[in-house]
Amino acid sequence: MKGQLLVCGCCGVSFRIGDDYIDRGEDHGYGTCPSCVAEIKAGNTALMTTAIDQLAAALSDDRRATFEAMPRHRQEFIAMHAMEQGILQWTI
């Protein structure tokens, strides 16, 4: 697969597969270029940061301090759980 030419399904640019390419199951001949992957990851990080901040703001001072002292991956897990339970909701 390395060196294969694909068309980005997001922006339409042609790109060649590198060593770090991750196949995400797109249609034959399509993929996601490194620029779009970086943009998607940045957007996801920003959304998760917003969710964590909103969750922390709703906690009591003691619980907020405990929550903010947790590692990022644990905060993300709790925020995702809150979304799954309908406690924290996204509006588009």
Confidence grade of residue 90 (pLDDT, cut at 50, 70, 90): confident
Residue 91 has pLDDT above 80, yes or no: no
In this predicted structure, what is the pLDDT of residue 38?
95
Q: Count CA within 13 A, CB hemisphere, residue 45.
A: 7
- Rounded to whole angstroms, how far apart are CA atoms 37 and 28? 18
In this predicted structure, what is the pLDDT of residue 92?
63
Amino acid at 9: G
User: Number of helices and strands (H, E) in the chain?
Assistant: 3, 3
Domain boundaries, the chain: 1-32, 38-92
In this predicted structure, what is the pLDDT of residue 25?
80
Backbone angles phi and psi of 15, in degrees to 5 = -150, 155
- Rounded to whole angstroms, how far apart are CA atoms 77 and 31? 28
Residue 1 has pLDDT above 90, yes or no: no
Which tens digits make up the pLDDT trace of 33-86? 999 999 999 999 999 999 999 999 999 999 999 999 999 999 999 999 999 999
